[in-house]
Amino acid sequence: MRKEERYKKLIEYFSVHRPIAETELHYSNPFHLLIAVILSAQCTDKRVNLITPSLFKKYKTPESLAKASYADVYEYIKSCSYPNNKSKHLVEMAKTLVTDFKGKVPSDVDMLQKIPGVGRKTANVIASVVFNKPVMAVDTHVFRVSARIGLTTNANNPLKTEKQLVQHFPADIIPLAHHWLILHGRYVCMARKPKCDSCGIKDICNYYKLLSKKTK
């Protein structure tokens, strides 16, 4: 199957079976989403959603978080992975928003990456989810699912995966496709025990094709 056809069939399938796909992180504004995405690094969305309600209540704005100490923030996020580093990132992120961006979360990916704690993946998430920009954030699920299905070829790092996905998905689909791949990886195409038998796109999947050959 040609790659173009694989993309076409995947889009057709998810457009019908998952027309609405959104982040599972809870948030009410761009600033709070930025906090949640920073916390979600090597931590589950479920865990982050348990942490953020009290954190958001305490720190409603960048200005309030910028005045906090690392120790103050640590107490709210200590059940998250790497709480020491993340407490520093959150406070410094808020300070940067206040001093450099007038308290507003920027929409530009390059500008976002100037903020402490914000790498390319986090910047792409914000640009995509908040501002609906045609950028693809590549997390472990997107990386794995794309390779297994055959959406990417010899993409041995997240940047190569991102470039190939952006090249082949129509621009207006990219923000939605990001969530399709994440949710598929989270609930169907898991790392250790993928649910291939119940997968709706197994007919276009290279991984399933190889598995089928091995079991014959």
Q: Which of 3, 58, 100, 139 is catalytic?
A: 139
Whether 35 shows a pLDDT value over 70: the answer reads: yes
State how far the Cα of 68 lies from the Cα of 71, in Å rounded to an integer. Answer: 8
Using the structure block, give the residue that is written with the tokens 């954030």: 137
Annotated catalytic residue 121: yes
Confidence tier at 211 by pLDDT (50, 70, 90)? confident
- What is the distance between the alpha carbons of residues 183 and 177, in angstroms, rounded to a whole number? 10
Dihedral sign from CA coordinates of 7, 25, 77, 189: negative
142: number of Cβ within 10 Å? 26
pLDDT score for 100: 97
* Distance of alpha carbon 21 from alpha carbon 84, whole angstroms: 32
8, 46, 114, 121: the active-site residue? 121
Q: Please state, in angstroms and rounded to a whole number, the distance separating the CA atoms of residues 162 and 62.
A: 30
Instruction: Report pLDDT for 216.
Output: 60
Measured CA angle at 200 (ends 194, 204), to 5 deg = 90
- Domain extents in the chain: 3-21+136-215, 30-129
Is the overall model pTM greater than 0.75, yes or no?
yes
Architecture of domain 30-129: Orthogonal Bundle (1.10)
Residue with tokens 């530009």: 108
User: What is the C-alpha R_g of the chain?
Assistant: 19
The per-residue pLDDT for range 60-77, each reduced to its tens digit, is 999 999 999 999 999 999
Taking residues 16-44, report their average pLDDT: 96
Collect all residues with Cβ–Cβ distance below 8 Å to 30 and sequence separation of at least 6. Answer: 104, 105, 126, 130
Whether 214 has a pLDDT exceeding 80, the answer reads: no
Q: Which CATH architecture has domain 3-21+136-215?
A: Orthogonal Bundle (1.10)
Contact 189, 200 (CB under 8 A): no
Phi, psi of 40, rounded to the nearest 5 degrees? -75, -10
Residue 58 has pLDDT above 80, yes or no: yes
- Is 172 labeled as catalytic in the residue annotation? no
**Helix H or strand E segment including 170:** none
Please state, in angstroms and rounded to a whole number, the distance separating the CA atoms of residues 126 and 32: 11
Exposed / middle / buried, residue 92 (Cβ in 10 Å: 0-12, 13-18, 19+): middle
Condensed to tens digits (0 to 9), the pLDDT of residues 108-147 reads 999 999 999 999 999 999 999 999 999 999 999 999 999 9
